[in-house]
């Protein structure tokens, strides 16, 4: 897919204030600092579109971007951010879960996972919750440029194996890097295919 335009639309904490659900929508979610905002910028080739930071907890709102005037890409705040208060964490859960379960135009949730790490409980639990709620999702392993391909493949295999305890089939996955743009075209192609159906 060629990105002809990529524009910021709105930032929200309230599900009822989101843009009208008239276009297909894809959301990026995952641990704080996993690289959600960076990957959105790499996919769209717009450096400052989504705000990124070395410090976890940068994205705090539901951010909508409109791509080619025809679909929404959504940057969500990360989960598992240790420095946040319990109250904030509960608040995050409340509004993100509400967004994910009520957003009728949401086509697929992309769950971002750091390819450098062994499977983490928080990511597996989140996938389980998506499955329980019947939400279609795919896995996006990030930061592939930071270690060898062999290491990434081992971690991906372990993660997929861990999911097999709950799922009959493991979801589609991508190995990506915001640094080298590895995998970004494949994600866009997948979105294109879903949009065409
Ligand atoms: P929150 O908004 O806090 O949840 O974080 P996020 O998931 O949006 O992460 P963000 O894109 O802000 O990136 C976090 C840090 O990781 C930044 O310092 C990025 O430069 C770095 N980073 C993200 N993706 C990559 C990648 O593919 N390769 C490398 N080397 N660094 C990356
Ligand atoms: Mg972010």
Domain ranges within the chain, ordered by starting residue:
6-196
Residue 187: name the closest of 144, 130, 148 by CA.
144
Rounded CA-CA distance 175/112 in Å is 10
Q: Is the pLDDT of residue 11 over 90?
A: yes
CA of 53 to the centre of ligand 1 (A): 7
Give residue-wise pLDDT tens across range 63-76: 999 999 999 999 99
Contact 34, 146 (CB under 8 A): no
pLDDT class of 80 with cuts at 50, 70, 90: confident
> Percentages helix, strand, coil for the chain, rounded to the nearest 5?
35, 20, 40
Average pLDDT of the chain is 93
Residues within 5 Å of ion ligand 2, judged at the Cβ atom:
36-37, 58-59
Residue closest to 99 by CA, chosen among 158, 17, 37, 183:
17
How many angstroms separate the alpha carbon of residue 118 from the centre of ligand 1?
Answer: 18
Query: Looking at the predicted complex, does its ipTM rise above 0.90?
Result: yes
pLDDT class for 83, splitting at 50, 70, 90? low
C-alpha separations of 85 from 30, 32, 58, 116 in Å: 18, 14, 15, 27
pTM beyond cutoff 0.90? yes
* Domain 6-196 CATH assignment equals 3.30.2270.10: no
**Confidence at 61, pLDDT banded by 50, 70, 90:** confident
Q: What pLDDT does residue 101 have?
A: 96
Instruction: Report the separation in Å between the CA atom of 56 and the middle of ligand 1, taken as the mean of its atom positions.
Output: 8
* pLDDT in the model for residue 82: 60
Relative to the CA of 78, which ligand 1 atom is closest? 4
């Amino acid at each position: 897919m060629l990105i002809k335009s990529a524009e910021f639309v709105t930032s929200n904490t309230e599900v009822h204030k989101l843009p009208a659900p008239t276009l297909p929508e894809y959301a990026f979610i995952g641990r704080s600092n996993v690289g959600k905002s960076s990957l959105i910028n790499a996919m769209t080739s717009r450096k400052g579109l989504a705000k990124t930071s070395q410090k976890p907890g940068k994205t705090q709102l539901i951010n909508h971007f409109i791509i080619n005037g025809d679909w929404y890409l959504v940057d969500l705040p990360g989960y598992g951010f240790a420095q946040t208060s319990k109250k904030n964490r509960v608040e995050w859960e409340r509004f993100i879960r509400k967004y994910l379960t009520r957003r009728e135009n949401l086509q697929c949730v992309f769950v971002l996972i750091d390819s450098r790490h062994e499977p983490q409980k928080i990511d597996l639990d989140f996938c389980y919750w998506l499955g329980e709620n019947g939400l279609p999702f795919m896995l996006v392993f990030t930061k592939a440029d930071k270690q060898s391909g062999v290491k990434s493949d081992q971690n991906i295999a372990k993660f997929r194996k861990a999911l097999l305890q709950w799922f009959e089939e493991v979801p589609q996955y991508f190995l990506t890097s915001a640094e080298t743009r590895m995998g970004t075209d494949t994600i866009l192609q997948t979105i294109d295919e879903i949009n065409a159906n």
